[in-house]
Amino acid sequence: MAHHKSAKKRIRQDQKKRVANHYYKKTTRTAIKKLRSITDPADAEKFLPKVLSMIDRLTGRNTWHKNKAANLKSKLMRHVNKLKASAKG
Domain assignments of the chain as residue spans, ordered by start = 46-89
Task: Give the other-Cβ count within 10 Å of 69's Cβ.
Answer: 20
Residue pLDDT, tens place only, 16-73: 999 999 999 999 999 999 999 999 999 999 999 999 999 999 999 999 999 999 999 9
Strand residue runs (E) in 1-89: none
Integer CA distances (angstroms), 38 to 12, 55, 72, 79, in order? 40, 18, 16, 10
pTM over 0.75: yes
